[in-house]
Amino acid sequence: MEELIPEDDCCTLCHLLLFDPIKTNWGQVCKFCQLGKNDEMKAMHKDDLCTLCHQLLYDTIKTRCGHVLCKSCMVDYAMGSLPNAMYAVHVDANPSDQLQSPGNLKYLVAPCPVCDNNNGEGVVPSPEKCTELRNKYPITYAEREAKAAHAEPEPGGDEGVQTITLCIGNTHQARPRPEGSTKGDRLHDWVVFAKVSRNDIILGVRFSYRGSGSENFVMEKPYKIADYAKRPLPVKVSVILKSRYIWVSEHADNYSRDGDKRQVKADWKLDFESHNGKGAMGLWRLKFKRRV
């Protein structure tokens, strides 16, 4: 009968009984396994390293332009890629629902961190690369798995960093052409809106666009403005938090003189074509925390 070895007595890398153990931040390993990992690191090819974390690629995805990255690194990068949307979703999508499935790579539209090409159709998992790396660097890959399993969750609570989903998009309706006219641009009545998964932390949303002559500051939901245009226009959207919160982003701007980082700005261009002409919506995942 095979003897069961307690988990605490197993090497994190080879999963066998510890021999001459070394303690690490993610568990205990055999000294021999640690030496084997050092040999793998010396022989590791640069193409097997993630461009963002500079470690062995793990749980890999491939961009539309062919670059391979760690999935978690790409998602974290996309979250910080303001003012560009992280995902492109259906115009009727609910931001709270989208927050529950942040790993949906199908809709990821952030630019590639290697070549800056836009991933307008999302990125795709790359399981064949995972298999290749696991076979090529078994000890180092096992270490990456162990680190991922022991990763500390993002702190919650009012004083910890939290994540919300922001959706910005537009609907529109094309006006009929004047009687007898067959040429020229048609007028479109459009509505630009912002939806968030936590309305209780939002002070208001500011919209501005060329030709409006002024900024539109909306302090109650639904956060939206309406106008008409012949062609799609770029719209600037600023989301401002209530005074007791701040954004956790390098793209955050001060809203008042005390340097409070309560404002983030995003760019949106009116879309008159997507979803059979119904409109379109971009999705951002943003971090915030309560002011100390």
Written as one letter, the residue type at 75 is: V
Residue 156 lies in a domain: no
Does 258 share its domain with 176? yes
Does 248 share its domain with 176? yes
CATH number, domain of 229, equals 2.60.40.1970
Residue 286 lies in a domain: yes
Residue 210 lies in a domain: yes
Residue 176 lies in a domain: yes
Does 112 share its domain with 37? no
Domain residues for 29?
Answer: 7-43
Does 143 share its domain with 176? no
Residue 61 lies in a domain: yes
CATH number, domain of 64, equals 3.30.40.10
Does 56 share its domain with 15? no
Residue 93 lies in a domain: no
Does 264 share its domain with 173? yes
Q: Would you put residue 277 in left (φ > 0), alpha (ψ -120 to 50) or beta?
A: left
Residues 6+ apart with CB under 8 A from 284: 79, 82, 85, 86, 165, 166, 167, 168, 266
Segment 25-73, tens digit of pLDDT: 657 777 666 665 666 666 678 888 898 888 889 999 888 888 899 988 8
Does 133 share its domain with 71? yes
pLDDT tens digits in sequence order for the chain, 292 residues long: 445 666 677 776 666 666 667 676 657 777 666 665 666 666 678 888 898 888 889 999 888 888 899 988 887 777 666 666 666 777 777 766 655 454 556 666 677 888 877 665 567 888 999 999 888 888 788 878 877 876 655 444 444 778 888 889 999 888 887 776 666 678 889 999 999 988 999 999 999 987 666 689 999 989 999 998 888 889 999 999 999 999 988 788 888 766 788 999 888 989 888 877 788 888 888 888 888 7
Written as one letter, the residue type at 8 is: D
Does 136 share its domain with 69? yes
Does 177 share its domain with 223? yes
If 0-12 CB within 10 Å is exposed, 13-18 middle and 19+ buried, where does residue 49 land? middle
Does 58 share its domain with 39? no
User: Phi and psi for 174 in degrees, rounded to 5?
Assistant: -75, 135
Residue 13 lies in a domain: yes
Last residue in a domain, options 127, 149, 171: 149
What pLDDT, on a 0 to 100 scale, did the predictor assign at position 158? 40
Domain total in the chain: 3
